Amino acid sequence: MVFAHDNVEVNQSNTSTYAMEGDLYMIKKIYNGLILFFFIAILIFYGSGLAIREYNKITNEFFNATIYLNTTVSQENTIRELKAIADEYDLTVAKFIPENNSGIDIFVYSHKNKYIHDFLFSNRFIKDLNYDQTITYSNDLTEINAEMIQTFFNKGIFIRPLDHLKNIGVEGKYALNVDDASNLENLLNEINNRYGNSLTMYYNQRLQNTFTGDVNSLKYNYGMILIVMLFITLLTSFLYDIKGRKKEIAVKRLLGYGTEVVFYDIFIKQAVKPMVFSVLLSQLIVIPFFVLNKNIKSLDILKYFLKGSLKFSIPFAAVFMTAFALFLLINIASKSEKIHIVSYIKGKKPSKNTLSVFVKMGSTLIIIVAFGISAVSWNFISEKKEAVHRWEETKNYATLNIYVPDHIFHNKKRAAEFEQTHKIIWNYLNEKNGLLFYKTTNQINENSFFINNQEVDVPFVYINENYLIENPILDATGNRISSVDNRDNNAITVLVPMRYKFHEEELRQTIHKKHVYDKYISEDIIRERITGEKNTTDLSKENLNNPSIMEKFIYIKDNQSLFTYTAGGDFITDGILAIVTGENMGLNVYTPSFTSMNVKYDDINELNREISVLFNDLGYGEVETDFASVYQQNAEDVQYFKNLMGFSLIVFVLSLIFLVLSLLFYLEIYFQNNKKRIAIKNFLGFNFFSRNKKVFIGLFLQDAMIILISLAISFFISNKVVGIQILKPILASCLLALLFDTLCSALVLKGRESKFMVETLKGE
């Protein structure tokens, strides 16, 4: 008999269902939380991917090759020749330079402005811009500011004329657009043959995103790991939700409800409503995040994101609802399930929570491996973090470039006469508060010393007093060294780490030899080149035993890291530092080191004018000079590590949330399956761990298996991805996961017991 329309029976059914909902309340909360978290995660993943795609489209899609440019002429002349090459060979030339946190500068020259007109404008990246009035086809490109370029990328993209590179630095990587990329090497050979006296282009096969570097691939890989794990967890939670409703299904079937009615009721409540709610709520949660993160900068971008994100989310929701429907139909229609209706009505539940164990282990395993990779990244980041901070302090520092004409460079006498002026130039830059850090290498000593008759690699660096002012160095007693006695022009002060104190005599001999060599060798060579006569004396040998040539040792604390101001160099530790003044060394140091002097400026154009006046006054006005930004030499690496730091933090937070949700899901399944047994043991006086030893033993065994599997995976990854250093963080992550599981489980189960034990014993 069918009672589907009997109000009494329906009320009874609703009462039974309400009681059953109480058992499933916590699981349902976790289940709904997982759904919402999933859609938030995929929207963040979608938004990040959208920003990356749009940025890559602007910086990569139009360009089909990269080159590395070296130059022997001034930056201004290099730019002039680059533009001539672009016009002659119908090229687009662009250099991408990160602009700290504000965005990226794209310095571009495009023959007939094809990059702007045929690409950016036609792809609608430029908004509300009267193209014909703002952008001309002349060689001078009007700047396009960040507000004109509408993308989901959260940093500003500035299109600037190639000419603006002259105060930043023209050497380095460039992106090219050529009609026939397959013929690029032949084209470069032709260009180098014609322009080789001034600039050289090298083919660089790797077209790398210069702003985000390899962080993009890391974001994608980590994002995929999290989404796949969430996807599997949600599918598993559907099975548990349906299994938990077998009593409800059994009661409704016993009361005569048809398959369609039972299916529709559960499907709407447990699949459709949570999915629709999560899709809409996730939009409301994520949109403010992207607004604050400056991805969404206008109403048009908001509409664009909403349209795309809904298209991205709805297929996932459809897949979940389809999977839920299939699981539900199988459980409702299964003959084996009908046999157990009476058992389900009596409250019998599956005795094993195999699927929850699988989800818990799987999520923990993947998160541990992800943590291991992140830990290696963080170890790398921690080494670079201080360097990033120091590099950002160099934004107003520049180094001098000089371009000597061939008629001087290839004439030994003229070149030697010009070299004699280098001491004056060095002193000028020193008086401008230039910071010197010159790591020397020469034929006498390539950073090597002999200690106990063994060659030891020790960095030997020339610095000036200005460096001491900006970079704290502590002596052996912990006092800062900010100045030295430089009254004796025949003496140099040498700062030596304490670790070398027991080898002082050997160091003194080696450093004295180097001091004398650097002070006098250039004088002999220059005198010979100017006079044209072979030297009959050797000043460096004659002064080797001169008692007035001396070195004053000051011992400093060990393990002090010193910033190098050199691209890619970052820091050195425990280097031996010789302090150079304007008189105590020779041209063998002044000549190569003045281009390593980092000069602070307020106006780089004024700095260029001043140095030009100096060269004119010295009689070498034909020598071209310019200053290049110190920071921009390393801007790409700085931005890469800043992105990596931020992304690693996001991975950690998302992974931790997911780990907590999967653990709560596992614990709730355990509690629902064992709450009567736990309640009885509690009543009989068993302590907490005796009542729940099953779950703690299970967690220990699971984590033991995870440790073994993680180590096996890490051995594979260590050879394929990040190196052998991943082993330690993965093992540490496993032990931390075990500790976290134990503590979290104890807290959750204590809370559940104190809340529900009385009701459980009453049979409620």
Chain segment 444-456, per-residue pLDDT in tens: 444 556 566 666 6
Task: Give the separation between CA 659 and CA 691, rounded to whole angstroms.
Answer: 24
pLDDT tens digits, residue range 601-632?
888 888 888 998 999 999 988 888 888 888 77
pLDDT-derived band at 568 (thresholds 50, 70, 90) equals low
Report CA-CA distances (Å) from 6 to 57, 268, 342, 361: 63, 22, 22, 47
pLDDT at 18 over 50: no
pLDDT-derived band at 163 (thresholds 50, 70, 90) equals confident
Among 373-377, 386-390, 583-587, 736-740, the range of highest mean pLDDT: 583-587
pLDDT of residue 143: 58
pLDDT of residue 199: 72
Is beta strand 156-161 parallel, antiparallel or unpaired with respect to 103-110? parallel
pLDDT-derived band at 756 (thresholds 50, 70, 90) equals low
pTM of the prediction?
0.63
Task: Give the separation between CA 306 and CA 311, rounded to whole angstroms.
Answer: 8
Task: Give the separation between CA 23 and CA 589, rounded to whole angstroms.
Answer: 81
Mean pLDDT throughout 64-79? Answer: 83
Q: Which residue, 457, 437, 438, is CA-closest to 447?
A: 457
Among 82-96, 319-333, 644-658, the range of highest mean pLDDT: 82-96
Strand arrangement of the beta sheet that strand 156-161 belongs to:
156-161, 103-110, 92-99, 172-177, 65-71, 199-204
Q: Which residue, 281, 270, 272, is CA-closest to 38?
A: 281
pLDDT at 558 over 90: yes
If residue 690 lies in a helix (H) or strand (E), which one and from where to where? helix 688-691
Task: Give the separation between CA 468 and CA 176, rounded to whole angstroms.
Answer: 43
pLDDT-derived band at 65 (thresholds 50, 70, 90) equals confident
pLDDT of residue 627: 85
pLDDT at 206 over 60: no
272-300 burial, b at 16+ Cβ within 10 Å, e below that, comes to eebbeebbeebbeebbeebeeeebbbeee
pLDDT at 517 over 80: yes
pLDDT at 290 over 50: yes
Between residues 158 and 550, the one the model is more confident about: 550
How big is the chain, counted in residues? Answer: 764
Task: Give the separation between CA 13 and CA 6, rounded to whole angstroms.
Answer: 10
Task: Give the separation between CA 667 and CA 29, rounded to whole angstroms.
Answer: 13
Task: Give the separation between CA 751 and CA 664, rounded to whole angstroms.
Answer: 12
Instruction: Name, in order, each residue with C-beta under 8 angstroms of 568's C-beta and a sequence gap of 6 or more.
Output: 634, 637
Mean pLDDT throughout 654-666? Answer: 75
pLDDT of residue 646: 64
pLDDT-derived band at 142 (thresholds 50, 70, 90) equals low
pLDDT of residue 6: 42
pLDDT of residue 158: 79
173 SS3 class: strand
Percent of the chain whose pLDDT exceeds 90: 10
If residue 678 lies in a helix (H) or strand (E), which one and from where to where? helix 635-683
Is beta strand 624-629 parallel, antiparallel or unpaired with respect to 397-403? antiparallel
Work out the mean pLDDT of the chain and round it to a whole number: 76
Q: Where are the domains of the chain?
A: 64-204, 350-395+644-764, 405-622
pLDDT tens digits, residue range 711-727?
776 666 554 444 455 66
Six-digit token pair at 510? Answer: 């080696």
Between residues 215 and 692, the one the model is more confident about: 692
Using CA of residue 345, residue 350, residue 355, residue 358, what is the dihedral sign?
A: positive
pLDDT at 172 over 70: yes
Between residues 445 and 241, the one the model is more confident about: 241
Q: Which residue, 613, 614, 609, 641, is CA-closest to 627?
A: 609
Which ranges of 90-125 does DSSP label H, i.e. alpha helix?
A: 114
